[in-house]
Chain A
Amino acid sequence: AQSVTQPDIHITVSEGASLELRCNYSYGATPYLFWYVQSPGQGLQLLLKYFSGDTLVQGIKGFEAEFKRSQSSFNLRKPSVHWSDAAEYFCAVAGMDSSYKLIFGSGTRLLVRP
């Protein structure tokens, strides 16, 4: 069955420090991969997505993610975190076949120390 694992429930980093949020997926073929961000009480905003091509994808707000097929991972990175990045981050996978589903991980809450 398809699944997405975000092993870190909470992560705390200092403002200006680098960030990496982990995401591992289980899927029988090459999936579509997404990272969404959710500010408290808000809907989800798409940060970036991977469908095919270059395995390093750039997103909004200075985020990037790298698709590593051998590790079934799609980790999100940012070189320098800003206080406004504090939010919850969700990794999601969708099938490239006729599947319609977005399967979400349980999320990682990012806290930023001043």
Chain B
Amino acid sequence: SQTIHQWPATLVQPVGSPLSLECTVEGTSNPNLYWYRQAAGRGLQLLFYSVGIGQISSEVPQNLSASRPQDRQFILSSKKLLLSDSGFYLCAWSRTVQETQYFGPGTRLLVL
């Protein structure tokens, strides 16, 4: 069966510091991968998606970036965090773009 992991579970970072959140999927190959952000009291917003290694599409302009160095690894990064980057970050995977997306446990980020 497939499993999706996110690391770390929680993170507290000062404004202006760098960020690296990791997502890994096990039990499948060549998955589609997604990064979502959930701000407090709001729904989910798609940030990035990837259909293959090195292929990243961005949905919203921001100071975040994503990379996919390996088939089942998806990384969300920032060079300098803003207060507005605080939120709950969820990674998801699917077999194809039109199939069900399965979500990881999430990373809660607090920028102070």
Contacts and interface: CB of A to CB of B under 8 A. Distances in A.
B86 interface: no
Interface of B is mostly: strand
A34 B103 CA distance: 13
B100 A46 contact: yes
Chain A, interface size category, equals 20 to 34
A94 B100 CA distance: 9
Nearest to A102: B101
B97 A43 contact: no
In order of increasing CB-CB distance, the 5 nearest A-B pairs are: A100-B97, A44-B103, A106-B43, A104-B43, A43-B103
Given A36-B103, A42-B106, 20 more contacts: A32-B98, A34-B100, A41-B106, A41-B108, A43-B90, A44-B44, A44-B92, A46-B100, A90-B43, A99-B97, A100-B32, A100-B49, A100-B97, A101-B46, A102-B46, A102-B92, A102-B101, A104-B43, A106-B42, A106-B43
